[in-house]
Structure 1
Amino acid sequence: MNTTRRAVLGAGAAGVALLSTGCAQPAGDQGAQLTTILDRVSTQILQESPERCTALGVTEEQAGGRFIDKLSDDSKEGARRYRGILETALRDLNALDRARLAPQDAVTLDVVKTSFENSVATSTYEIGSGAGAPYVVTQLTGAYTSVPDFMDNQHPLTTRDETEAYIARLGEYVRQLDQDTAIIAADATTGVIPPDFAIDKAITQLNQFARAAPAQTVLVQSLVRRLPEVSEIPEADRAGYLTRAETAVRDQILPAYQRQIDALRAIRARAPHDAGVWRLNQGAEMYAVSLRQRTTTSMTPDEIHDVGVDLVAQYTSEMEAILQRQNMTQGTVAQRIQALSRRPEQLYPNNDTGRTQLLADLNVQIQAVTALMPNAFTTLAQAPLEIRRVPVTTEAGAPGGYYERASLDGSRPGAYYINLRDTREWPKFSLPTLSYHEGVPGHHWQISIQQESGSIPFIRSALLGFSAFSEGWGLYAEQLADELGVYADNPLGRLGYLQSMTFRASRLVVDTGMHAKRWTREQAIQSMMQATGDLETSVATEIERYSVWPGQACSYMVGRQAINRMRETAQNTLGARFDLKGFHDTMLGNGAVPLSVLDAIMNEWAASRLRA
C-alpha cells in the first residue's frame, strides 16, 4: 500500500522497464498522438513522485531528471499541480478519435481515461488526499507512516552518490512532515478533523519514533546496517555519514515530528467519534466518488451493503458445516471460531521465536502453492518473493498484511508484509489464505506477470492501479488456491479460508454501514466480530482503517464477484472449450484494468475461442 499523497492514481503494479507506452502500431496518426500524450504524461507523473521512481527502479532519463535525492511535494499546491497534469492529459485524450485506434490502443485509451477521470473526481475534494483519503495524517496516512520504511527498504545504498542522496532525502522528509502538519491545521478550519481514535493512534505512532534516541531510529540504523556494503566509501568515512544522519534526525526530523504531534493535539478536543465521512461537508458525494474509483462500478452503497449481507450468510453456512464435522457444535459460528483461535496448538508464542517460526511457516506455504501454479497458468511469474514483518514503528495502526511490488530493474524482490504486533491475532488455521492473497497466486503473482509481460504500456503497468482488479484478483486467488486442493487434508485451513471470505464480505457491510448508514465505530466492530469470530483488537484495527479510507475495503469482494461472473459467462459460452489456463493468462496478461474494460476483454477472449 502506498499512503503518500501521490497515490491518487491507485497502487498500480510494476511494469516494463521501457518508458515507451508500448502502444500498438498506430491507425493513421491517432495511435501516434496517443503515444505522444502517454509518454508526456508518464514523465510528468514520474517527475511529481520521486519515491515512485525509486520504487520502480527507472533511470533518470525515464524519469525526466534526477530524483534519487528528492521526495514528492505533499502540499495542497502540489496536489493541484498533479491534478492539472491529469486534466490536461484528459483533454488531449478526449480529442482523439477512438474509432481510428488499433484495438490494443483503444483498450489503453479506455483504461487511462477511466483512471484519470476517477482520480480527478476524487482529488477535486481538496482535503487530505481527496475523497478516498480525506484526512492527511491518521494511523494509516501521512508521510510519517511510509517514508522511514521507504528509506530503509527502497532507497538504494550501493554508491557514494546514493549515500549522499540518502542524507539529502532526510532533509526532504522534514519538508514533507511540515507540509502534512500545515494541512492538518488548514483542513481543521473547514471542519475536516479525523475521528478521535485515528488521531490517538497517529499520536501514539509518532511518539514511538519521536521518543527514540536519534541513533536508534530506523533512519540511522539503516545506514549502520547498509554502509559496510558501499565499497566506494572507505570505513574511515562511514562515521561521518552516520553523524550527519544522526544530526539530521536530532535537529530537524524529531522537531518536525513534535510539530506534527502538537498539531494533532491542538485539534484533538474537537475530534468527533463518528467514524463515517457522512459527517463531512458533501460527505455522501465524496463517498459515492470514492466507491466509483475503488470499485470501477456504479454500484450504490445500498447495493454493495446487500451483497455483503447475503455473502456473510452463505459463508457462515459453509463454516457451520465444517465445524459440525469437527464436532464443534456449541455456540454461534463466531463463538466457535473464537474458541478455536484460542487453542494452544493454534497459537505461536508471542515473542521473537514465535514470530520467526511463523514467517518460516509462511515461506513453506508459498513454496508449496507455487508448485501448483502450472495447473492453472501457462504463463508463470518469475520474480522472487520475500515475507517480512510490518515495521514495529507503524504496526499499531497498520493492517494485517499488504504487498510491496518488486523494482523494475530486478534489484529488489516483491515482498508481502504481515503485522506481527500480536501473534495471537494469527491462529495457524487463518494464515495460509493470507499467503495466497498477498503472495501466490495473489498480488505477487499478478503483479509479477504484469511486470514481466513486456507488452503492456508503461503507464498502465507501472503508474496506474485499479483496486477492484488487483484486490479482486487477490481474493479470487484465495478461492483458486482452494480449488487447486491446498486444503484437501486441512479442513481447519479451509475454515480459515471461509473465514477470510466472510471477513471480506463483512467489509461490504461495515464500510457502507459507517459511511452511508451512519453506523458508529462500535456498531461496525460488533458486526464484523459476529460475522468472523476475529479478535476485537484485530477487528478494531480494520474498522479504523475503513474509517479513514472510505470505499477501499469494498473493492475486494466487488472485484472478486465480477471475476467469478466473467468466468461463469465464459464457461457458459464455451462449454467444453473453456480453458482455465487461457482464462487466467488472458486476464493477467492484459494487466490491471477497470472492471468494465476487463469484462470486454474476457468476452472477446471467449468469442475468439469460439471462432477458433
Structure 2
Amino acid sequence: MKRILKWIALLLGIGVLLGTALAIQVVFFRPFDIRIFYEKIFVQRLLEDPELLTQLGLVEQFGINGHNARLTDVSPRQTEKASAWIRESLNQLHAYDRAKLDEDGRLSYDVLDYYLTSSVAGDKYRYHNYPVNQMFGVQSQLPTFMATLHPLTSKEDADYYIQRLSLFPDKFDQVLEGLKLRETRYILPPKFVVEKVLAEMHSFIGKMPQENILFTSFAKRLEKIEALNQTTRERLLGNAETQIRQAVYPAYAYGSLIAYFEGLQQQKDLNNNGVWSLPDGDAYYDWEVRSNTTT
C-alpha cells in the first residue's frame, strides 16, 4: 500500500510540474498550439482593460469581479506598453506555420494577422487622436460607463462603484499626461472641440452631486437590490455623494481638465479643423481609411 501511495504521489508531483511548466510556457513564451495562442492574447488584452472586461461581462458568472473596482490605465506609459505588446504578438503569430493550418485555422490566422499588421503600421500615429472630444471623449464616456455598464446587483458591486468614483482623479491625471504629450507633438484639438467639451464639462459639474447622473443612476439601481437594508443603502449613497464631491468634480474642475482646456482656448491658435493639420496628417488619413475599410 505504501508503495502504491508513493507512486500516486510521484505521479501527482509530475503532473503538477508538467502543469506548471505548461503554464509558464503559455504565459511567457509562444504556446505550442496556435489556438492557445489566440486565447492567450485575448486574455492578455482583457486583463489590461478592466473597463472592457466589465463591459463584456464574461467572468462575473464565475465569481471573478475584482476588475470592477478598477479603471483602465490610459497613461502614455501604458500606451507604450500596449504598442510593444502588439508588435510582439504579431511576431509570435508569424512564427506559426500558416500552411499547416486547416481552412478555419487559416481564416483565424488571417483575421488576427490583418488586425495586428494594421495596428503595427499605424503605431506611429498612436497619439494622433483627441481623448477628450464632444462625441465620445473620456469626459462623457466614463460617466456613461459608470451609469449604464458597471454591474450593480449586490453590496459588493456598490462598493466597487464607489471605489471607481474615487479613481476619477487618477484616470484624468493619465488623460492630462497624454494631452500634454500630444501638445509637444503639435497634436491639439480644433477650437470648436475645445469649446464644446468645456461647455459640457462645466454643465456636468454645475449640478449638485445628488443631481448628477453618477448619483441618480446609482440611487435608482440600488433600490432594486432587495438584500440591502435602508441603513446600508443610505450609507452607500452618502459615500457616493462624497466621492462625487471630493474626487469626481475636482478631476474635472480647475487644476485639471477644465483648466487645461481653458488654457488651450486662451493661448493656442486652434484653427486646425482636420487631420490634415496634424504631423504627417495625409499619411495618417490614408492609414485610417485602410484600417477602417476593405476597399
TM-score range, shorter chain: 0.7 to 0.9
Deviation at residue 173 of structure 1 after TM alignment = 2.6
Misfit runs of 4+, over 4 Å: 60-65
Q: Is the 8 A contact 1:173 1:253 kept in 2?
A: yes
1:175 corresponds to which letter in structure 2?
Answer: D
SS of residue in 2 equivalent to 1:180: helix
| Aligned partner of 1:170 among 165, 169, 188 | 165
Structure 1 gaps of 5+ residues are 1-29, 298-612
Write the distance in 2 (CA, Å) between the matches of 1:60 and 1:45.
17
Structure 2 gaps of 5+ residues are 1-29
Q: How does 1:370-385 map to 2 (within 5 A)?
A: none
Q: Is the 8 A contact 1:167 1:245 kept in 2?
A: yes
1:279 corresponds to which letter in structure 2?
Answer: S
Write the distance in 2 (CA, Å) between the matches of 1:64 and 1:33.
26
Q: Is the 8 A contact 2:215 2:241 kept in 1?
A: yes
| Aligned partner of 2:135 among 116, 131, 140 | 140
1:92 corresponds to which letter in structure 2?
Answer: Q
User: What is the match of residue 262 of structure 2?
Assistant: 265
SS of residue in 1 equivalent to 2:33: helix
Deviation at residue 31 of structure 1 after TM alignment = 10
Q: How does 1:523-538 map to 2 (within 5 A)?
A: none
Deviation at residue 32 of structure 1 after TM alignment = 5.9
Deviation at residue 60 of structure 1 after TM alignment = 5.7
SS of residue in 2 equivalent to 1:229: coil
User: What is the match of residue 88 of structure 2?
Assistant: 88
RMSD between aligned residues: 2.2
| Aligned partner of 1:217 among 192, 212, 215 | 212
Write the distance in 1 (CA, Å) between the matches of 2:169 and 2:287.
32
Q: Is the 8 A contact 1:136 1:142 kept in 2?
A: yes
Q: 1 or 2, which has the higher helix percentage?
A: 2
How does the TM-score come out when normalised to structure 1?
0.41
Q: How does 1:172-571 map to 2 (within 5 A)?
A: 172-258=167-253, 259-268=256-265, 269-297=267-295
How does the TM-score come out when normalised to structure 2?
0.83
Q: Is the 8 A contact 2:167 2:247 kept in 1?
A: no
Deviation at residue 33 of structure 1 after TM alignment = 2.0
Write the distance in 2 (CA, Å) between the matches of 1:64 and 1:287.
41
Q: Is the 8 A contact 1:50 1:71 kept in 2?
A: yes
Q: How does 1:4-43 map to 2 (within 5 A)?
A: 33-43=33-43
Q: Equivalent pairs: percent with the same residue?
A: 28
1:261 corresponds to which letter in structure 2?
Answer: I
For these two proteins, the number of residue pairs brought into alignment is 263
Write the distance in 2 (CA, Å) between the matches of 1:80 and 1:250.
33
1:267 corresponds to which letter in structure 2?
Answer: L
SS of residue in 2 equivalent to 1:275: coil
Deviation at residue 276 of structure 1 after TM alignment = 1.4
Q: Is the 8 A contact 2:215 2:237 kept in 1?
A: yes
Q: Is the 8 A contact 1:47 1:65 kept in 2?
A: no
Task: Give CA-to-partner distance per residue, 1:402-459, whole Å, 9 cap, x none.
Answer: xxxxxxxxxxxxxxxxxxxxxxxxxxxxxxxxxxxxxxxxxxxxxxxxxxxxxxxxxx
Task: Give CA-to-partner distance per residue, 1:498-542, whole Å, 9 cap, x none.
Answer: xxxxxxxxxxxxxxxxxxxxxxxxxxxxxxxxxxxxxxxxxxxxx
User: What is the match of residue 154 of structure 2?
Assistant: 159
Deviation at residue 242 of structure 1 after TM alignment = 0.9
Task: Give CA-to-partner distance per residue, 1:377-415, whole Å, 9 cap, x none.
Answer: xxxxxxxxxxxxxxxxxxxxxxxxxxxxxxxxxxxxxxx
Q: CA 1:278/1:77 → structure 2, altered by over 3 Å: closer, same or farther?
A: same
SS of residue in 1 equivalent to 2:147: helix
Deviation at residue 104 of structure 1 after TM alignment = 0.4
